[in-house]
Amino acid sequence: MKIGITCYPSIGGSGVIATELGILMAERGHEVHFITSNMPFRLNKPIPNITFHQVDVNQYAVFQYPPYDISLSTKIANVINEYDLDVLHMHYAIPHAICGILARQMSGKDIKIMTTLHGTDITVLGYDHALRNAIKFGIEQSDVVTSVSQSLKEETYDIIKPNKDIVPIYNFVRESEFPTGYQPELKTSYGIAEDEKVIIHVSNFRKVKRIDTIIDTFKLIRQEMKSKLLLIGDGPELLDMREKVRELQLQDDVLFLGKQDCVSNFYQISDLVLLMSEKESFGLTLLEAMTTGVVPIGTYAGGIKEVIKHGETGYLVDIGDSQHAAEYAIKLLSNPQLYKQMQQRMLTDVQQRFHSSIIADQYEDQYRQMIGESNDA
């Protein structure tokens, strides 16, 4: 198949999933065309069967805002015609599903469109009356719509009420990018003692990530055991969180590491991953850490409760509940046998439910159904 993919190419779960899926499809022999504003950051080496088409958004004095959506749609239409694409896979209902629909009209071809909903396009933008009808239109005019969790599917019906089937397909990681293993030198190079426990959180530091709860949780853990908290990422909450760490006098034990390309190295020195979000359609960082062997604690928000099986593969707490999160963390980190058992169950569960080959099969089946090919073609 010839597959066109559009996503936000910067660091962020939706861009990662779009890029990794494109790579998997290219490895399966499909011809993949990324049509994005910049080179997706995981496409950092040449990969056969993948072509990158950059969207140029020019600014003219007559426009109050740069016309990203129009430029993107025009570029997609050109690529559809030039390469005779079979399917478009658009990540995010708006603007990308809408751009795909417009591009289809411009191209004059009956190309099939899959739209994948990632979360913020529904759980945040869906409440904006200026956008809701456009989101509904993008969903209803797509040929196939997928959501990254069952919870996001349900929220989409609640908030947007589209007249359309939505197929949940979980996120995945490319296992080769997140090997298990341990890096003692890395731990030492960051000034972390061998006997200290390492807790990690990776995000874009938006308010919904509730990093305040993570710091409160760490404070309670730190009172009981030698430990360090690694905070990876950057975003609007960063300065406030630095301030909070100073107020709690935790600055020697909380390491703000900024954005990092190779988070897998940091997962390899971590004992626990925390994701305490109030909204989270899936929580890709959890799956990345779990694949590397790090046991998670998350909140009952959105799709997190589908990723973590409470008491079996990690723990879940209510939003804002740092007390219980710390109790679970201390119980886990002070009992090596319990940790090992949970880690083993977690690794098995990750293999069984989220393995990249299982998820790639599900997407490939949907592509084939859209274009009317049988699944065993």
Closer to ligand GMT by Cβ: residue 253 or 280: 280
Smallest distance from ligand GMT to CB 235, Å:
9
Please, which residues bridge with residue 54 across strands?
Answer: 36
Closer to ligand GMT by Cβ: residue 162 or 303: 303
Structure tokens at 72: 């993107």
Closer to ligand GMT by Cβ: residue 153 or 279: 279
Closer to ligand GMT by Cβ: residue 40 or 111: 40
Closer to ligand GMT by Cβ: residue 282 or 315: 282
Closest chain position to ligand GMT (CB): 119
Smallest distance from ligand GMT to CB 14, Å:
4
Smallest distance from ligand GMT to CB 17, Å:
5
Smallest distance from ligand GMT to CB 120, Å:
5
Smallest distance from ligand GMT to CB 186, Å:
25
Q: Is the dihedral of CA 81, 82, 86, 88 positive or negative?
A: negative
Pairing between β-strand 144-147 and β-strand 197-202 as defined by DSSP bridges: unpaired
Q: What is the full DSSP assignment across 58-90?
A: ---TT-SS--HHHHHHHHHHHHHHHHT-SEEEE
Please, which residues bridge with residue 23 across strands?
Answer: none
Residues 6+ apart with CB under 8 A from 25: 1, 3, 32, 360, 363, 364
CA angle 358, 259, 271 (to 5 degrees): 60
Smallest distance from ligand GMT to CB 302, Å:
6
Structure tokens at 30: 């499909």
Closer to ligand GMT by Cβ: residue 121 or 321: 121
Smallest distance from ligand GMT to CB 326, Å:
23
Residue with tokens 């456009």: 134
Closer to ligand GMT by Cβ: residue 13 or 22: 13
Closest CA to 317 of 305, 306, 303, 331: 305
Compute, in degrees rounded to 10, the torsion defined by CA atoms 133, 137, 138, 141.
170
Smallest distance from ligand GMT to CB 259, Å:
13
Closer to ligand GMT by Cβ: residue 118 or 219: 118
Q: Are 178 and 291 in contact (CB under 8 A)?
A: yes
Collapsed DSSP state (helix, strand, coil) of residue 268: helix
Closer to ligand GMT by Cβ: residue 282 or 328: 282
Residues 6+ apart with CB under 8 A from 86: 1, 2, 3, 111, 112, 367, 371
Smallest distance from ligand GMT to CB 286, Å:
8
Smallest distance from ligand GMT to CB 142, Å:
17
Residues in the chain, overall count: 377
Q: How far is CA 247 from CA 203, 205, 215, 250, in A?
A: 22, 19, 11, 8
- The residues of the shown chain that bind ligand GMT, judged by CB under 6 A, are 12-14, 17, 118-120, 123, 148, 171, 204, 206, 208, 279-284
Closer to ligand GMT by Cβ: residue 134 or 248: 134
Amino acid at 56: D
User: Phi-psi region for residue 114, left (φ > 0), alpha (ψ -120 to 50) or beta?
Assistant: beta
